[in-house]
Amino acid sequence: MHAKYVVDLTPEEREQLLQLTRRGKTAVRRVARARILLKADKGLTDEQIVQAVDTSLSTVTRVRQRFVEEGLEQALRERPRPGQRPKLDGRHQAHLIAVACSPAPEGHVRWTLRLLADKAVELGFVETISRETVRRTLKKTRLSPGGIGSGASLPSARSS
């Protein structure tokens, strides 16, 4: 089958992609896209590329199309993914983290994920929020409820 979107790399683009696939700190999906373009440039069919890169036919087609229509950088770039918007915006996340670092409510030794979720609702950040969402918010900053004293603490702040 002849591909609708023919990839014809310049020597500079080819070298850039080869460098990208050899570097250790590049995102896996970006490397896969680079490999797809390199294989397409060699004249492999979409089906051969699917096998060689261990990806889907739709991914190969999409990467080829983006390269032809939008250029190399757009073909390699990660696009926003559809899905539910985050429950907490940055300001609310920061406020929740500040609450987690404050003394625990009366009658409690420390903040729990449930207490923090309830506090977020009480403060009007959200109508509902799961403990898992609170956990992920704290994990982004390496906070964990508990730690030292009555509030959450950074793992690096623990004494030996």
Q: What is the DSSP string of 85-130?
A: PPSS-HHHHHHHHHHHHSPPPTT-SS--HHHHHHHHHHTTS-S---
pLDDT of residue 109: 93
Q: Where are the domains of the chain?
A: 11-76, 90-154
Q: How many CA atoms lie within 13 A of 121 on its CB side?
A: 12
* Other Cβ atoms within 10 Å of 79 Cβ, number: 8
Report CA-CA distances (Å) from 69 to 46, 56, 57, 82, 111: 18, 20, 18, 22, 52
CATH of 90-154, one of 1.20.140, 2.30.30, 1.10.10, 1.10.3470: 1.10.10
Q: What is the pLDDT of residues 126-153, one digit of tens each?
A: 899 999 999 988 888 776 565 544 344 4
* Other Cβ atoms within 10 Å of 134 Cβ, number: 26
Average pLDDT, the chain: 85
Apex 76 CA angle, 9 and 29, nearest 5: 125
Question: Which residues of the chain register pLDDT less than 50?
Answer: 1, 148-160
pLDDT of residue 145: 60
pLDDT of residue 89: 87
pLDDT of residue 160: 42
Q: State the pTM of this model.
A: 0.53
